[in-house]
Amino acid sequence: METGGEDVLVVVDVQRDFCRGGALAVADGDAVVEPVNRLMERFECVVLTQDWHPAGHGSFAGMHAGRSAYKTVELSYGQQTLWPAHCVQGTPGAEFHPELRVDRAQLMVRKGFRAGIDSYSAFRENDRQTATGLAGYLRERGLRRVFLAGLAYDFCVGYSALDARELGLEAWVVTDACRSVGLAGSVAAMDRSLEQAGVGRVTVAELGAE
Ligand code: VGL
Ligand code: ZN
């Protein structure tokens, strides 16, 4: 698969807290760094997202008395999974993985910085209304085909891909450059949603980045 001037690689949340030893470590999360770094070479435009929560964020289990992490609660905007405190603004856990080629990025998008709203998608927060600004950036630059990689497939990568489709963009998930959180049924559910939305699946090798 050839990449060109209308393509953008969106690297989702490759941060310390989602990697080994992190507060919300994704199994084998560190393994995405190498393929993502190689993928970056195939794209003129690379965007990084950074999960960026204030201390005491509403998605943190500790903010909900008697509730535990990885369980769902009802918030003002609907169902929300609770997480251990992670990616707190200015802490080491919120930093990008130290080996990630951040120098290749043309834009970094921070998300989840409003205390009361979580944001899985790089485009839109979990209230499904609050925009991050990424759609406008892509539109102004004429970037119409979005390739996504990073952490985690079943949450931030997947929801970003679904929103890209809703915005009328072509979307491809680079499957072997992602890892999943893997809550009950979350990977299978995201597989189905992505297929229904017409999100493509492609490998690092198919993009010539092996
Ligand atoms: C993510 C849960 C909470 C992700 C971020 O990057 O997939 N998951 N915050
Ligand atoms: Zn988060």
| Ligand 1 pocket test, candidate residues 26, 120, 162, most atoms within 8 A of CB | 120
Cβ(39)–Cβ(115) below 8 Å: no
Q: Give domain status of residue 71, yes or no.
A: no
Q: Give domain status of residue 75, yes or no.
A: no
Ligand 1 pocket, residue 153 CB under 6 Å: no
Q: Give domain status of residue 69, yes or no.
A: no
pLDDT of residue 4: 96
Q: CA–CA distance from 206 to each of 1, 175, 209 (Å)?
A: 6, 11, 7
Ligand 1 pocket, residue 169 CB under 6 Å: no
Q: Give domain status of residue 100, yes or no.
A: yes
pLDDT of residue 27: 97
Ligand 1 pocket, residue 17 CB under 6 Å: no
pLDDT of residue 32: 98
Chunked in runs of 10, what are the mean pLDDT values of the chain (210 residues)? 97 98 98 98 98 98 96 94 98 98 98 97 96 98 98 98 98 98 96 98 96
The parent domain of residue 200 ranges over 7-54+84-207
* 2 CA to centre of ligand 2 in angstroms: 33
Q: Give domain status of residue 105, yes or no.
A: yes
- Please enumerate in sequence order all residues whose Cβ is within 8 A of that of 197, keeping only pairs 6 or more positions apart, or say none: 161, 162, 165, 166, 171
Output the pTM of the full model: 0.98
Q: CA–CA distance from 168 to each of 44, 130, 131, 144 (Å)?
A: 21, 18, 15, 8
| 45-51 and 145-151 beta bridge pairing | unpaired
pLDDT of residue 157: 98
Ligand 1 pocket, residue 51 CB under 6 Å: yes
Q: Give domain status of residue 62, yes or no.
A: no
Q: Give domain status of residue 137, yes or no.
A: yes
Q: Give domain status of residue 149, yes or no.
A: yes
| Domain total of the chain | 1
pLDDT of residue 47: 99
CATH for 132: 3.40.50.850
Report which ligand 1 atom has the smallest distance to the Cα of 53.
9
pLDDT of residue 125: 97
pLDDT of residue 123: 98
- Tell which residue, 56, 125, 137, has the closest CA to residue 91: 56
* 146 CA to centre of ligand 2 in angstroms: 22
